[in-house]
Structure 1
Amino acid sequence: MKRLRTVNDVMTHAVISVDRGAAFKDIVESMRQWRISALPVVADDGWAAGVVSEADLLPKAQGVDVPRAVTAGQLMTAPAVTVTRDAARAGAARLMARDNLKRLAVVDGDGRLAGGVSRGDLLKVCLRSDEDIAEELREVVMAHLTPDESAAVRVHVSNGVVHPDGSIPDASLFDVLVRVARGVPGVVDVAVRLDVGSPTRR
């Protein structure tokens, strides 16, 4: 069962890029051909040097004179905003939201371009099946409760919304279980119906 927790789990491994010397028209053509709005720019050693986006190209289209800006290396925004393969998926999503980015370059530990991750890639977790989510949630619940206690908690997932019900022995566990459940990939919301009291064997 794939947990979809890291960038590597959802990223696109084959990514379109350009080198520093790519000409303006070639950059535009690549964007048009692949229907993307930004391209990572790589150095000769494969290192992610920057990103050239439609926003970087628009001044030319508007007739604004941008001297000595005709190649990807001259037009790009640098340094590139990147994440590593093992970065948390949720962290990449926060970075995109904070900086209003549509995609991020993904690099290996040495900074070489390894792929890319887009908003759409990060939303793949929303397609995770309810059964898959429920299976992981049961493991999560068991990790925080004794076997007798976990037997008194039932987990049902519908369209990504978690509906745990039953009883827990201690009110302090309520917030813990809700927080942990929200952290499971694919969970959209948690609708809790848990009573506090002695668990009943089932």
Structure 2
Amino acid sequence: MEPIVEMQQVQIFTLESAQWHGEPLYLALLQLLRRQGAAGATVVRGLAGFGAHHHLHRATLVELGADLPLIVIWVDRAERVARLLPQVQAMVGDGLITVAPVTAYQPAPPMLAELPADLRVRDVMTREVVTARPDTPLSELADLLLQGGVRSVPIVDDGRRVVGIVTDGDLLRRGQMALPLSIREALTDAEVAAAVPPSAGRAAEIMTREVVCARDDLPLPALVELLARHGFKRLPVVDRDGRLVGIVSRADVLQTVAHVAPVVAPRLFTGRAQRVAEVMQREVATVRPDTSLVAVVEALAQIEQRRVVVVDEQRHVLGIITDGDVIRRATAEERPGIVQRMLERLRGQAGAGQRQLVVSGRRAADVMTAPVITIHADATPHEAIRLMWRHRVKRLPVVDQQGRLVGLIGRAGALRALAQDQPSVGAPA
């Protein structure tokens, strides 16, 4: 087994009798965490215990109706814990909550070493789908996309037939949101409220009505070709009667391929790309470690992918910086100006960049994420997929024999490598 990620374990101590809006608190907590895309949570029932009031709660044959202690154990990524913990605290009230770092391990499913060549969409799709109705308010859709761990929401009718779909991009372009959801994740509630005006619109007003869906019995190689050809990141999955039964993303596909033994992968996919160099993005935005934080912010605001690679004079990779990294690692003094500058650049407002930023002389090296997982240009796309999945990253800097940056490969490039048609060199990763 390999460690998949450093995570946090939250323990919430409560009682069976605790309520939240008329239902047991522990169930309300589980429903909240499930809706918000939490990695997992379990409720444990105690035999006895006492808390702040020093009243002993215990289970005996005489006290069959005893109000027993409960522990809700929630394991998740640190960023999601930080985002959801205020809601959890408000629900728990006087209950005790502890947070501790943990390392999660996950064995590869035994069947993955012997995947059948006729694998279907239904075998890799996600069955729990966050959906909305055409009359769902845009404010609710924004909350689902921001806090629900999803990037698209199928819009369904009473018969669970897909009538539209809303992505975070739709909200940005048509819903007139003030900033991308990737940046929203790094902001506080107060900063979001100040930057994003409330909207009275409904899902039907901005949803894409011509929705491409995948049948649940579609062969996996055909799905890969469909995703790669159209540049889709995810597709709703329907059964033969057209009812929504799941959603499948390129991440689902790559997760499956990451666990396929090299001798099995060629039976599933026959794409001709044999090297990462054939599918990588060659134009990569870079900065030096001593680049001013002001210059980094302006570079990020003008790049569609909103990330830059930090390299030295010989183009050796030292780190990587995203827009979220800059916001999260900004000091209290720096943060307002940095957020405002990014908003101005994203909106294309006149006069953007004229205001003096307060960055205390900080540089790219002060906010970059390091070390960075890289891959060699001569590695296979399958190796890139396994590496991305093992380290839970969406993109890998590509280096040559001397360790110098020569490109970038992301999920889209890796997916094209699996498709039947040879992708053009230098296309976006």
- TM category (shorter chain) comes to 0.5 to 0.7
Q: How does 1:52-71 map to 2 (within 5 A)?
A: 52-59=166-173, 60-62=176-178, 70-71=201-202
Letter in 1 for 2:164: G
Secondary structure of 2:241's counterpart equals coil
1:151-201 per-residue CA deviation (whole Å, 9 max, x = no partner) reads: xxxxxxxx969xxxxxxxxxxxxxxxxxxxxxxxxxx8xxxxxxxxxxxxx
CA deviation string 1:75-106 (max 9, x = no partner): 11012110110001111111111221110000
Aligned to 1:103: 234
Candidates 135, 142, 145, aligned match of 1:28: 142
Contact 1:39 1:52 survives alignment (8 Å): yes
Count of residues in Structure 1 that have an aligned counterpart in Structure 2: 137
Q: Does 1:121 align with 2:271?
A: no
Identify which of structures 1 and 2 has the higher relative contact order when contacts are C-alpha pairs closer than 8 Å and 6+ apart: 1
Could you list the runs of 4 or more consecutive aligned residues of structure 1 that deviate by over 4 angstroms after TM superposition?
Answer: none
**Residue in structure 1 matched with residue 207 of structure 2 by the alignment:** 76
Matched residues in 1 for 2:167 and 2:200: separation? 14
Q: Which residue identity does 2:260 align to in structure 1?
A: R
State the 1:35 CA deviation.
2.5
Partner Cα separation in structure 2 for residue 160 and residue 113 of structure 1? 31
Distance 1:56 1:97 in 2: 20
Which residue is 1:149 aligned to?
A: none
CA drift at 1:36: 2.0
Report if aligned partners of 2:139, 2:200 keep a CA contact under 8 Å in 1. Answer: no
In structure 2, the partner of 1:10 is 124
TM-score, normalised to structure 1's length? Answer: 0.59
Cα shift at 1:49: 0.9
**Counterparts of 2:207 and 2:168, CA distance in 1:** 10
Is the contact between residue 238 and residue 245 of structure 2 (CA under 8 Å) also seen in structure 1?
A: yes
Quick one: distance in 1 between partners of 2:147 and 2:260?
Answer: 30
2:152 to 38, 56, 63: 38
Q: Within 5 Å, give how 1:147-166 maps onto structure 2.
A: none
Q: CA deviation at 1:34?
A: 1.8
**AA partner of residue 57 (structure 1):** L
Give yes or no for contact 2:237–2:244 (8 Å, CA) kept in 1.
yes
The structure with the largest helix share of the pair is: 1
Query: What CA distance in whole angstroms lies between the structure 2 residues aligned with 1:21 and 1:115?
Result: 21
**Distance in 1 between the 2:235 and 2:261 partners?**
26
The whole-number CA distance in structure 2 between the counterparts of 1:49 and 1:15 is: 15
Q: Secondary structure at the match of 1:120?
A: helix
Superposed CA offset, 1:20-73 (max 9, x none): 11110000000111222211111111101111112211131149xxxx981112
Local SS of the residue matching 2:141: helix
TM-score, normalised to structure 2's length? 0.29
The one-letter code matched in structure 1 to 2:168 is E
**C-alpha contact (below 8 Å) 2:137/2:200 kept by paired residues:** no
Q: Cα gap change, 1:69/1:45 in structure 2, threshold over 3 Å: closer, same or farther?
A: farther
The whole-number CA distance in structure 2 between the counterparts of 1:55 and 1:75 is: 10
CA contact (8 A) 1:69 1:75 kept: no
Structure 1 CA distance, aligned partners of 2:161 and 2:121?
A: 18
> Quick one: percent identity of the two aligned structures?
31
- Residue of structure 2 equivalent to 1:92: 223
Q: Secondary structure at the match of 2:128?
A: coil
Partners of 1:102 and 1:125 in 2: CA distance: 16
Aligned AA for 2:220?
R
The CA RMSD over aligned residues, in Å, is 3.0
